[in-house]
Amino acid sequence: MNIHSILQLLVLINETKTQAEVAAELDKLLHSYGFLGYDIWLYHRADSARAEVVLMDNWPESWRTLYASRKYSLIDPARRMLSSAQRPFRWRDAIHAFRDDPYRKRVLRLVQDAAKFNRVDGYVFPIFGKTGLIGQFNISGPAIELSPVELSLFETAGRRIFWRLLELQGLAAELDRCEALDTDLTKRQMEVLILLADGMTSNEIAKELSISSHTVDWYINVIQEKFNAKNRQHVIAIAFRLGLIT
């Protein structure tokens, strides 16, 4: 175990002043374990679409180009497993989980191509907020066994790095604001919200749900207050950004 290296990063990460300093601390930690690569992602809603932003990574440009040109993101087992994962998992576990997948041959080709860049195995650490999955932290290299304690500490380190990068890039305040919103909607409020997002008027929603238009307006006002939204259009934009509607 090299737990001291993880603890040292946890102490020093908040003292970093630039992204380069964050990268340097992470590089030292990964080097002490033998890992080679990392990437840290932010997931958020931009109006009606989910945006995926790479906050920091050290993947070779040639690998990024190959990954994109062969459209591996469509069949990558780690990306697919992430959508339902509730805890950290290993690359090889994701590959095994999709062993009967019709894209198995492409997955094996992905594995072979990654190995050419010395990415034989790795770990994926989902990062959750109040609104669900908001990011991920990945590390890769040769096949390295992490103990349960190390896995837990790496998860904590990934989350701390994630939020430090957001702070340095000026994104933390906006994400905090979204995280602080009251998104605990009732079934009826969700029904109204979905129909509102479909472009229906209060009268049309009332007819669809067999309630009065005044009641619909009341539900919308409640949702607007919960979201701290300026108007109905703002309610819909926030709902998309939070992933409540798609």
pTM equals: 0.72
Edge to edge, the sheet with strand 89-90 lists 49-57, 37-46, 132-141, 121-129, 89-90
pLDDT greater than 50 at residue 164: yes
Lowest mean pLDDT across 41-50, 66-75, 212-221? 41-50
pLDDT greater than 60 at residue 46: no
How far is it, in rounded angstroms, from Cα 42 to Cα 49?
A: 14
pLDDT greater than 80 at residue 19: yes
Per-residue confidence band for 181, with pLDDT thresholds at 50, 70 and 90? low
Lowest mean pLDDT across 10-14, 65-69, 141-145, 171-175? 171-175
More confident residue, 246 or 102: 102
Average pLDDT, integer, range 111-137: 90
Note the Cα 216 to chain centre separation in Å. 33
pLDDT greater than 60 at residue 158: yes
Average pLDDT, integer, range 5-28: 94
183, 48 contact by CB (below 8 A): no
Q: For residue 246, what pLDDT is reported?
A: 64
pLDDT greater than 80 at residue 225: yes
Q: For residue 45, what pLDDT is reported?
A: 54
Strands (E), the chain: 37-46, 49-57, 89-90, 121-129, 132-141
